[in-house]
């Protein structure tokens, strides 16, 4: 009448936890795949979890990525503004064909009598 308990070695437990960390499936789905009680698998995850296998969930990496995204968004906005400025019509008088008078002064003379 009594059922024998399934025993799992350390290697299997570690591999199961690593599999949980690498998958996007829920813990319950993975437990069903491996024919393990979800509570048991949850306990293993708590005991054997290695954060190196979760590069997306590392706080520092997320902060760095968020900071980089913010910087890139600011740069994009700056570039959009520069493009908008460059697309504006030129308002210089040369573009309109207006002549700009040039005033010529008489050359300067030093006390030695040389022209500058």
> Quick check: is 111 in a domain?
no
> Quick check: is 97 in a domain?
no
> Quick check: is 78 in a domain?
yes
Bridge partners for 115 per DSSP: 109
Report which listed range, 24-38, 66-80, 81-95, is most confident: 66-80
The distance from CA 95 to its chain's CA centroid, rounded to whole angstroms, is 43
Per-residue pLDDT at 71 exceeds 80: yes
> Quick check: is 112 in a domain?
no
Distance CA 14, CA 76 (A): 44
> Quick check: is 96 in a domain?
no
> Quick check: is 105 in a domain?
no
* Structural domains of the chain, count: 1
What is the domain-level CATH number for residue 40?
1.10.10
> Quick check: is 116 in a domain?
no
> Quick check: is 30 in a domain?
yes
Residue-wise pLDDT tens digits, 42-52: 999 888 887 76
What is the domain range of residue 17? 10-83
């Amino acid at each position: 009448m009594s059922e024998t308990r399934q025993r799992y070695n350390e290697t299997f437990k570690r591999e199961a936890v690593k599999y949980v960390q690498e998958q996007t499936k829920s813990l319950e789905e993975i437990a069903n795949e491996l024919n393990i009680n979800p509570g048991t698998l949850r306990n293993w995850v708590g005991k054997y979890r290695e954060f190196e296998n979760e590069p997306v969930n590392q706080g520092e990496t997320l902060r760095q990525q968020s900071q980089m995204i913010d910087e890139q968004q600011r740069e994009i906005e700056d570039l959009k503004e520069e493009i908008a400025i460059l697309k504006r019509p030129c308002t210089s008088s040369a573009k309109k064909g207006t002549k700009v008078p040039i005033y010529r002064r008489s050359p300067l003379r030093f006390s030695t009598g040389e022209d500058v």
